[in-house]
Amino acid sequence: MLNLRRLNRNIRSLRRYRQILGTLLKYGFGQVLDQLQIRFVVQRSRQIFIGGPEARAVKHQTPALRLRLAMEELGPTFIKFGQLLSTRPDVFPTEYIDEFSRLQDDIPAIPFELARQQIEQELGAPIPELFSHFDKTPLAAASIAQVYKATLPDGIKVAVKVRRPDIERIVATDLDILMSLASLAEHHLPALQFYNPVALVKEFRRSIQRELNFTREGHTMDRFAANFVGDSTFHVPHLYRDLCGETVLTMEFIEGIKVSNFEKLRNAGYDLTTIARYGANALLKQVLEHGLFHGDPHPGNIYILPGPVVCFLDYGMVGRLDRTLKYQLVDLLMGILERDVEKVTRLLLESGARDEEPVIADLKKVVSDFIDDYYEVPLHEINTGRLLTDLINILVQFRIGVPPDLLLLTRSLITMEGIGRQLDPDFNMVHHLKPFMERLARERLSPFHLAKDMKNVAEEYGILLRKLPRDLRTLLLRINGNRFKINLEHRGLNQLITDLDKSSNRLSFSMLISALIVGSSLIMQVDKGPLVMGFPILGILGYVIAAVLGLWLAVAILRSGRL
């Protein structure tokens, strides 16, 4: 039986696929699409977009700017993807990261009627029964959701976050296409294999699916609230669980002052230095104590309440640092402050997977130069975010994998440090970081944690010893039964195979053209069959076909750029 739903999705996907490729072509990425060998769609799109006014307008712009403009035009999924890529300096150069950081998430609001239907469907009751007042104009409209101000029957003001009704379908279609493009990139662009485009899209899929599910965001907010119980300097908006679901999130309405409104903060009597200190401590506590931190603490997400109390909004993007990664990070920073080149080199090698073994002597030289750059620099002049970025650049240079959460942490620290320096010119993140580092160093040497580490090591060796006899027996049985196999994975040969395939096809094509020319020449010597101007038609036809095929082959070779 024909599955109409699947058929409709395939038709939508094909239409969207052509739209995406056409947009990339319009912004000057035709050569990349040619390298991906997406010819069946590109040729049709080229007829539409090449030479148009849009193409001429962006012709002289930088590739980074053109890619950002293409992402903004392609809509919510690609805007979110660009925002994720802005946290990946290990994948893109600085100019691309800067452009991706400028991606705007503000898009026109959906009609209130659609939002009303979504709310009533999710919460199971009409809006007048749930709220005594509900503003029909949204406070904010983004690609994933809109936020409305409302009042509960008991007079409490709340913010209602509503997911766009059609966003899940749009994202699902775009994710399928992104995954397809990532697979093509890995296959046809060997230089990108180290960056693992498919894994990058999978990471994005996990991130955006979490952001689409407001139930998960609600649980995350509950965890943050529990982590900061008793802390009078940080506040997490209260959730009203009876009015929450997968597509609707109802929370306390925050009526504070935006952290970037310095004049209003001063007029309200707030000490900006204190606010900078509280904000830095809140983020560092999230990272180094709880291992769960806000992944997007930009000024629009931070409000100051009376006290002062720092309040973070929008918990859709969060990062996680496990115990091992926390200790590695602290050891790395301590090694830099102690100018221990050997220690920093060892920690960098242990920090991620390696595509190939780096030259240790070269790595030590780069690490030594890096440490010298920060040696004897006054603490108030050290930029923690810049320091971590420089470390990540070293990892990229030596093709050492970087944990995504560490990249997200780097961006969060850069953002928070920038806000802190605007609030207080003497703000220094290292000054706030040092007590947390010392506390973690003491913690790992405490008898409790040493005993816990020994217990974990003993458990791992116990599991290994229990499994070893069974694994050895399985191995010997396979060897005795001639069922022992070794799987070898070749790397870097895909492009060679593709090039050989192209060369053999061109050679076969050339032989076919030569055969047509020789055959046609022989036919031209025979005065039999239909004649045109005294020459055999078959001979003339053979020459024409050979000429057309030869021209086609010549054009293909010239377009490939390889004569």
DSSP symbols for 306-324: TTTEEEE---SSEEE--HH
- Rounded Cα distance between 284 and 432, Å, is 8
Q: Are residues 281 and 413 in the same domain?
A: yes
- Rounded Cα distance between 432 and 244, Å, is 37
Q: Residue 531's beta-bridge partner residues?
A: 536
Q: Report yes or no on 42 lying in a domain.
A: no
**Integer angstrom CA distances of residue 358 from 242, 355, 366, 389:** 55, 9, 12, 20
Round the average pLDDT of the chain to a whole number and report it. Answer: 80
- Rounded Cα distance between 562 and 316, Å, is 48
- pLDDT band for position 82 (50/70/90)? confident
> pTM of the prediction?
0.73
Q: Which token pair is 229?
A: 């119980």
Q: Report yes or no on 228 lying in a domain.
A: no
Is-catalytic flag, 296? yes
Question: Which one of 90, 296, 314, 331 is the catalytic residue?
Answer: 296
Q: Are residues 278 and 337 in the same domain?
A: yes
**Stretch among 291-295, 449-453, 510-514 having the lowest mean pLDDT:** 449-453
What's the rounded mean pLDDT across residues 380-395? 76
Q: Are residues 384 and 334 in the same domain?
A: yes
- pLDDT band for position 247 (50/70/90)? very high
* pLDDT at residue 236, as a whole number: 94
Q: Which token pair is 314?
A: 């929008």
What's the rounded mean pLDDT across residues 88-95? 77
Q: Are residues 263 and 395 in the same domain?
A: yes
Tell me which of 327 and 337 has the higher pLDDT: 327
What's the rounded mean pLDDT across residues 97-110? 78
Q: Report yes or no on 36 lying in a domain.
A: no
What's the rounded mean pLDDT across residues 474-482? 75
- pLDDT band for position 9 (50/70/90)? low
Q: Report yes or no on 363 lying in a domain.
A: yes
Most confident of 136-145, 274-283, 467-476: 274-283
Q: Are residues 413 and 462 in the same domain?
A: no
341 CB-side CA count, 13 A: 15
* pLDDT at residue 355, as a whole number: 56
Q: Are residues 358 and 417 in the same domain?
A: yes
Q: Are residues 282 and 389 in the same domain?
A: yes
Tell me which of 131 and 184 has the higher pLDDT: 131
**Stretch among 2-11, 14-23, 186-195, 252-261 having the lowest mean pLDDT:** 2-11
Q: What is the pLDDT of residues 120-160, one digit of tens each?
A: 999 999 999 999 999 999 988 888 889 999 999 999 999 99
Domain stop point among 430, 445, 460: 445
* pLDDT at residue 89, as a whole number: 73
Amino acid at 491: R
What's the rounded mean pLDDT across residues 461-485? 77
What are the contacts of 27-36 at 24+ separation with CB within 8 A?
Answer: 27/55, 27/58, 27/66, 27/67, 27/69, 27/70, 28/55, 28/58, 28/59, 28/63, 28/66, 29/66, 29/67, 29/70, 34/559, 35/188, 35/189, 36/181, 36/184, 36/185, 36/188, 36/189
* pLDDT at residue 56, as a whole number: 57
Q: Which of 73, 62, 65, 68 is nearest to 22 (CA)?
A: 73
Q: Report yes or no on 23 lying in a domain.
A: no
Most confident of 317-321, 336-340, 522-526: 317-321
Cis peptide before 297 (omega within 30 of 0): no
* pLDDT at residue 4, as a whole number: 42
Residue that the structure tokens 């038709």 belong to = 11
Q: Are residues 290 and 430 in the same domain?
A: yes
Domain stop point among 464, 484, 504: 484
Q: Are residues 328 and 363 in the same domain?
A: yes
Q: Report yes or no on 368 lying in a domain.
A: yes
* pLDDT at residue 49, as a whole number: 47
Q: Are residues 395 and 467 in the same domain?
A: no
Q: Which token pair is 455?
A: 């217990």
Q: What is the pLDDT of residues 360-370, one digit of tens each?
A: 778 888 888 88
Q: Are residues 314 and 397 in the same domain?
A: yes
- Rounded Cα distance between 290 and 320, Å, is 9
Q: Report yes or no on 333 lying in a domain.
A: yes
Asked if the model's pLDDT at residue 5 lies above 60, the reply is no
Q: 464: domain range?
A: 448-484
Q: Report yes or no on 13 lying in a domain.
A: no
Positive or negative: CA dihedral 258, 216, 132, 166: positive
* pLDDT at residue 1, as a whole number: 39
What's the rounded mean pLDDT across residues 431-445? 80
* pLDDT at residue 48, as a whole number: 47
Task: Provide the domain count of the chain.
Answer: 4
- pLDDT band for position 2 (50/70/90)? very low
Domain stop point among 437, 460, 484: 484
Q: Are residues 514 and 438 in the same domain?
A: no
- Rounded Cα distance between 427 and 341, Å, is 28
Asked if the model's pLDDT at residue 42 lies above 60, the reply is no
What's the rounded mean pLDDT across residues 165-186? 86
Direct distance between the N- and C-terminal alpha carbons of the chain, in angstroms, rounded to an integer: 51
* pLDDT at residue 496, as a whole number: 63
What's the rounded mean pLDDT across residues 372-387? 70
